[in-house]
Amino acid sequence: WQIELACTPAEAAAELAATLKQGRLCLLADALNEARRERYDERVQEWESFWRDLPAGNALIFTSRTLDYQGELAAPQVEIDPLTDAQIEEFAGRYLDDAGRGAALAALLADRHATLLPLARTPYYLLLMVEIFAESGDLPANRARLFEGFVQRLLDRERAKHLPGWIDARAQHVALGELAYAMQELGEGTLVDRAWACNAMP
């Protein structure tokens, strides 16, 4: 908010408060399922209180994986339908700023890369595919390659930050692979206690 307005923190806070009071704000809170487990219930209750006290006209929208959300916010819910073939093509065309390339990507998903089509019906995964297609003009051979490329890009991005205590990417692959396997066996979604996660990794 402060960056968008190019102002001081105090000015940004004042503008935010005024916008809320006027009922002109739409707050998007993505991936509730990725919130830390510690104090999770307490934080959800705080969000619910905030939502109930919002002045009329404002909107607060949460997203979460269905498996991880048990209706804690007691708010109206909607479920997002998978993208249609036409929507996939339009999304790709708009992102690539080229309807022809969007059609080319959609054609790949309908034919040579049909195994990726179910994933492409989710906007997040479709965005991954579009970004890869923008760079290479093709799509990964299968789901494993798609996720491998995604993970590698995340690791490259974090490595470029030169963070202290960086762990070698190979060690991270092993540790996170063990954690993912343990979470699948647990079968309770993506929310786990920090201590449990640390214990699951080598």
**Is 10 found in the same domain as 48?**
yes
CA dihedral 99, 101, 106, 110 (to 10 degrees): 140
The pLDDT of residue 68: 67
* Predicted confidence band of residue 80 (pLDDT cuts 50, 70, 90): confident
State the residue range of the domain holding 130. 85-138
Q: Note whether 96 and 64 are same-domain residues.
A: no
Measured CA to CA, the distance from residue 9 to residue 2 in angstroms comes to: 6
Q: Considering its fold, how many domains does the chain have in total?
A: 3
State percent of the chain over pLDDT 90.
Answer: 43
160 assigned to some structural domain: no
Residue 184 placed within a domain: yes
> Same domain for 52 and 90?
no
Domain-embedded: residue 29: yes
pTM above 0.85, yes or no: no
Residue 162 lies in a domain: no
130 found inside a domain: yes
Q: Give CA–CA dist 157/145, Å, rounded.
A: 18
Residue 96 and residue 60 share a domain: no
Q: Is residue 55 part of a domain?
A: yes
Q: pLDDT tens for residues 145-195? A: 998 888 888 888 888 888 888 888 889 989 988 999 999 888 766 778 888
Q: What is the DSSP string of 139-191?
A: --SSHHHHHHHHHHHHHHHHHTTT-TTPPPHHHHHHHHHHHHHHHHHHTSTT-
8 within some domain = yes
Let me know if residue 30 belongs to a domain: yes
- Please give the Cα distance from 25 to 126 (Å, whole number): 28
Question: How far is the C-alpha of 123 from the C-alpha of 119, rounded, in Å?
Answer: 9
